[in-house]
Structure 1
């Protein structure tokens, strides 16, 4: 670890705050590094040479304060920590922006590997890979079994009309990134609206549940579920639909979008859905709608990235190929939804 301050984290002021709020927690000078990955919020590994913690803060350069995001993330992991859902132990929340320039929270550092690609997963072998991905499903069942009221999350979201609001939200997101004609995307959006399923009872949902948002140890156990920034109370099958979508193997050579689905032994979407249904007892008859919705959401996200690329607002490699992926996601969404309607 470098003693140099990573961008967005002043270690002296952080140390002073920790000494005031948690006397005796830190035993020496802090050093830190920025952890790669994560969709938006910044994550740092921090150590005093003996103990380790993780600090989460909003991205740099945000004009609007995002204390709400930090407070929500800290609140959900605090609520879930005593349950069967593995999350890092929360240490403290700081909403005072004068400390490091933004709200932030601190949690324990958890050892484990976030598997982001099929190539990373392949060395585990087919049997261990299969077991690890099924454990991912089992942990999702545990999350959806948590009683929100019992853990103090009764007001964590607005479950009534959840799917309709989600569909409208992502439609607006699409309209904000329109820079070209995209065949089929309006058709997909409209078809999803016409076929809106009735949601089961609301649960705590993660919002971006997939293998690279969990830490797995050497015994193939999930040590922690991470990245709760999109969590809320809502329809649990949205988590399952997203997981099913990420479990489809996309034959896209040199794709800048990586998934673990091509690893030997990785269960296919139908196997994951069946395991979830068996263990949760929840009706998954409408899962094709939720999977099609996940394809639509990802198409909108990718189109937004492509739109920013065309405006010269992206930095790094691979953005030039994002645009060609969007029609693939739209097509998957349409065929998935069509299969449901014909079934």
Structure 2
């Protein structure tokens, strides 16, 4: 199996023969379900090729999940971190398998009533507010990032990632980067930032309805928490297409709050001033456009695993256009 040598993994863990399968849906790090017939784990590792500098850091992802274990933020229990690249060709970590499902498509949700959808909207925002309420120093994450200058570094970082993934003309994306760089807002507070918070990066249980785990912490750091809220709104609204793969169309089901409702709930729950959120939303569109362009870059070079990568590149320019509109104050 690409990216997962079960024989070497079994030898490293000291178990009997293992079986495993790729968990579909991810577009960046690779996630597998692994079992020895008795125990079950989830394994995370970087993609197979074109790993951008500072991205896909398994040790950071492992560290933040372990640090949040005793907080109000639901996370899986981490089992093992392996930095020996002789095992799987890249660092990886194992965590417990948590009940629940990542909701990516409407056809997963026939049981989701409008009341369920409304409650899930609120729970999604409340978990984000709980994350941002965690004192980094109290959970051993006081040195997890450099919050001073975070937003400026983020614009520069994703600009560099864009340059590292360029393979075609992308009208408007450099204009968007320049606008963001020239209008960086003042950060009012610092928190643990997830970096990719959205509905399909959490696991949802049906009975009782809840969020059992927040996943995919590869971009977590210390910084401005409004970056998470702006990106959540980007994922919530997507490109506006009826079959939008950015949202998976789940938030369009009856009962889900709109993005204004999410923002209001977050402001109410956290006490944060969300007056500058337009910049953060525009940055979210830029960041997501760069991420998808990096995935498109890997796809064109045969370095992706799984289905659904062939159309990823079509999403970059619609996101750029929405980012430009957000940066200009348009709805």
Short-chain TM bin: 0.7 to 0.9
- Counterpart selection for 1:11 from 6, 16, 23: 6
Paired position in structure 2 for 1:160: 148
- Would the alpha carbon gap of residues 137 and 18 (structure 1) be closer, same or farther in structure 2, given more than 3 Å must change? same
Larger mean Cα displacement after TM superposition, 10-19 or 41-50: 10-19
| Counterparts of residues 51-200 of structure 1 (less than 5 Å) | 51-61=39-49, 69-121=57-109, 123-200=111-188
Paired position in structure 1 for 2:227: 238
Larger mean Cα displacement after TM superposition, 153-162 or 186-195: 186-195
Q: CA offsets per residue over residues 286-340 of structure 1, 9 Å max, x none?
A: 1111011111222233344556667787787765654543332222222222227
Paired position in structure 2 for 1:35: 23
Paired position in structure 2 for 1:3: none
Larger mean Cα displacement after TM superposition, 255-264 or 104-113: 255-264
Superposition deviation, residue 81 in structure 1: 0.6
- Would the alpha carbon gap of residues 99 and 198 (structure 1) be closer, same or farther in structure 2, given more than 3 Å must change? same
Q: Are 1:277 and 2:267 matched, yes or no?
A: yes
Q: CA offsets per residue over residues 239-266 of structure 1, 9 Å max, x none?
A: 1100011111644255554433322222
Paired position in structure 2 for 1:23: none
RMSD: 2.9
For 1:270 and 1:141, how far apart are their aligned partners in 2?
16
- Would the alpha carbon gap of residues 135 and 227 (structure 1) be closer, same or farther in structure 2, given more than 3 Å must change? same
Aligned pair count reads: 329
TM-score by length of 2: 0.88
Local SS of the residue matching 1:221? strand
For 1:251 and 1:283, how far apart are their aligned partners in 2?
27
Local SS of the residue matching 2:34? strand
For 2:82 and 2:268, how far apart are their aligned partners in 1?
41
- Would the alpha carbon gap of residues 36 and 286 (structure 1) be closer, same or farther in structure 2, given more than 3 Å must change? same
> Do the aligned residues in 1 keep the contact of 2:46 with 2:56 (CA within 8 Å)?
no
- Would the alpha carbon gap of residues 50 and 148 (structure 1) be closer, same or farther in structure 2, given more than 3 Å must change? same
Uncovered stretches (5+) of structure 2, i.e. residues with no partner:
none
For 1:307 and 1:61, how far apart are their aligned partners in 2?
10
TM-score by length of 1: 0.85
| Counterparts of residues 251-262 of structure 1 (less than 5 Å) | 251-253=240-242, 255-259=244-248, 260-262=250-252
Paired position in structure 2 for 1:209: 197
- Would the alpha carbon gap of residues 16 and 310 (structure 1) be closer, same or farther in structure 2, given more than 3 Å must change? closer
For 2:192 and 2:310, how far apart are their aligned partners in 1?
36
- With a CA cutoff of 8 Å and minimum separation of 6, indicate the structure with the bigger relative contact order: 2
> Do the aligned residues in 1 keep the contact of 2:296 with 2:313 (CA within 8 Å)?
yes
- Counterpart selection for 2:216 from 215, 227, 234: 227
- Would the alpha carbon gap of residues 129 and 122 (structure 1) be closer, same or farther in structure 2, given more than 3 Å must change? farther
Superposition deviation, residue 197 in structure 1: 0.6
Local SS of the residue matching 1:112? coil
